[in-house]
Chains A and B, each alone.
Chain A
Amino acid sequence: MSNRAVNVRGVSRLFGKTLALDNVDLGIDSGEFVALLGRSGSGKSTLLRTLAGLDAPSAGSVHVPDERMVVFQEPRLLPWKTAIQNVELGLRGERAADHARSAMAEVGLEHRLHAYPATLSGGEAQRAALARALVRDPKLLLLDEPFAALDALTRMRMHALIESLWKRHHLSVLLITHDVDEAILLADRALVLDKGRIIASVSIDLPRPRELSHPGFLNLRKQLLSAIGVDIQAPTFDAADPQGAPDSTLLPRSIVMA
């Protein structure tokens, strides 16, 4: 129990009559990187918001460290404050400014300290959002599809950045994504959420830094995709379940880009 960063037991969440989370159990060890996969509407974001304290479960117990931070899909920087002011916002103590500065340096933004968010690129804005989370020394970092809106090259750089920050700061990370490759590249363990239940848990023990060309990759991808319900060989659309149409972002990148 002592090295558990997150312990979720029997958590359910009802929105009206819809069950967004259905008796979910989730443990994340301290320093563990967990990816949470699932289709749109599977309850991923609800689970993350529960862990972030932004949403209260209808039932069950949630134990999370107080020192937790969220990076959302949108950077959510205050447009009227410069990048460094955004990072510093709400910090107390004499050394706050120094901490903010070094967090900005860590994400490679020391040259954009005084830029307004409107002038930052998508990747820069997301790195500033990361710096804002890091400067608060979180034990748990919750990432809600933080790379989804970035272009492919920026996303690759962000993957490397996240991995190095995770190692250096001994963070526990929960990464929500619907990109299977992203999960395999980064996570120690990938969970698949469907209709509010965790239906698969796959450990990923490929050596780091990971390469898409590693022979183990294809197997893991197959495993995860079939757990999500996407068949690579013959994508089928279940006529009875229009919600079940495969999401193009779930397809392996090699197929999408070819």
Chain B
Amino acid sequence: MQISAPALLDVPTAKPMVAPQRRRSTQWLRVLSPPVLLVLWQIGCSTGFISSRTLAAPSQVISSFIALTADGALQHHLLVSLGRVAKGMSIALLLGGGLALLSGLSRTGEYVIDAPMQMLRTLPVLALIPFFIIWFGIGEVPKVALVAVAAIFPIYLTLYSGIRGVDPKLVELAKVIGLSRGALIRHVILPGALPTALVGVRYSLGISWLILVAAEQVNATSGIGYLMNDARDFMRIDIMVVGLLIYALLGLAVDILVRWLERRLLAWRPSFVNAAA
């Protein structure tokens, strides 16, 4: 059973092994490089080297961002998108988590649930859009459903393999001290599966936004995806860039949120314990 997100497995970020002196002399480049690019971008646009039909100037993007925020449009679309992701993720957590518990904790559950889940997870979710339009129409339902379907699989796979990966010696110990099955699941199996499952949650959140971009281009009247689509129709490249920026920031925010969750929930892990000491 392979989890499809090896790159996300939580390895404490190691500091790059660069000789200290060399690092000091070149690290200012690191800080300087993005602003220089930004300035070049601005100059390119101002001199007309980059056509305004290709890319909007940073200054223009900033003023559009301010304008969109001032009239509340951006906040509105952002809230709608956030709501869709929240609904989709909640469904995915409930359904994916529930299915993983059933197939992780019982043989019968595994036989019934695991094989279809393993088959379904290989489907490209975006290919389901036409089906979802036929099944659910063009309202909110297909958008939330797409997010939910895409987010279910990482949650299911990681929780299932987390449950199966719990140290059998700890399970045996639970038997020795006479824990009930409920207590075994609550105190031993679920906490043991949590680190792996959180990787799935992080992955799911990332996918949710990805899917939402596509889902919100289907007959939406609100949401960040709609904002961008609408801007495209009017050739408002500046607003399209604002949309991109929002997506990037959201991705970052989600990552920060999950890292914070990990620090709270996995405080017992040696890496965190040592960092706190």
Contacts and interface: CB of A to CB of B under 8 A. Distances in A.
A52 interface: yes
Nearest to B265: A80
Contacts of B179: 89-90
A159 interface: no
Given A76-B170, A90-B177, A118 B188 contact: no
A70 B176 contact: yes
A115 B233 CA distance: 61
Interface residues of A, number: 19
B268 A79 contact: yes
A79 B188 CA distance: 10
A171 B225 CA distance: 70
Interface of A: 52, 54, 69-70, 72, 74, 76, 78-81, 89-90, 116-119, 132, 136
Interface residues of B, number: 25
Given A54-B172, A72-B169, A119-B277, A79 B177 contact: no
Nearest to B167: A76
B168 to A, nearest CB: 11
A52 B269 CA distance: 30
Nearest to B178: A90
5 contacts: A69-B176, A80-B192, A81-B268, A89-B183, A89-B187
B191 interface: yes
B269 A79 contact: yes
Q: Select the residue from A74, A116, A132 with max chain B CB neighbours within 10 A.
A: A116
Given A80-B268, A81-B268, A119 B273 contact: yes
Contacts of B187: 78, 81, 89-90
SS of B interface (majority): helix
Contacts of A78: 170, 187-188, 191
Given A54-B176, A78-B188, A78-B191, 4 more contacts: A79-B269, A118-B273, A118-B274, A119-B277
A83 B254 CA distance: 33
Contacts of A118: 268-270, 273-274
Given A78-B170, A78-B188, A89-B187, A116 B268 contact: yes
Contacts of A81: 187, 191, 268
Given A118-B268, A119-B273, A89 B177 contact: yes
Nearest to B180: A90
A54 B266 CA distance: 30
Nearest to A136: B177
Nearest to A87: B177
B188 to A, nearest CB: 6
A81 B187 CA distance: 9
A72 B177 CA distance: 12
B175 interface: yes
Contacts of B194: 80
A90 B179 CA distance: 6
Q: Which 4 A-B pairs have the closest CB atoms?
A: A118-B270, A80-B191, A76-B173, A80-B268
B183 A90 contact: yes
A107 B169 CA distance: 23
A69 B169 contact: no
Q: Select the residue from A52, A54, A80 with max chain B CB neighbours within 10 A.
A: A80
Nearest to B169: A76
B107 to A, nearest CB: 20
Contacts of A117: 268
Contacts of A116: 267-268, 273
A74 B191 CA distance: 20
A119 B269 CA distance: 10
A89 B183 CA distance: 9
Q: Select the residue from A72, A90, A132 with max chain B CB neighbours within 10 A.
A: A90
A234 to B, nearest CB: 40
A7 B191 CA distance: 38
A188 to B, nearest CB: 24
A72 B173 contact: yes
A143 to B, nearest CB: 13
A141 B259 CA distance: 43
Nearest to A71: B176
A52 B192 CA distance: 24
Nearest to B176: A70
Contacts of A70: 176
Nearest to A135: B177
Nearest to A75: B173
A72 B179 CA distance: 17
A69 B178 CA distance: 10
A72 B170 CA distance: 11
A76 B169 CA distance: 7
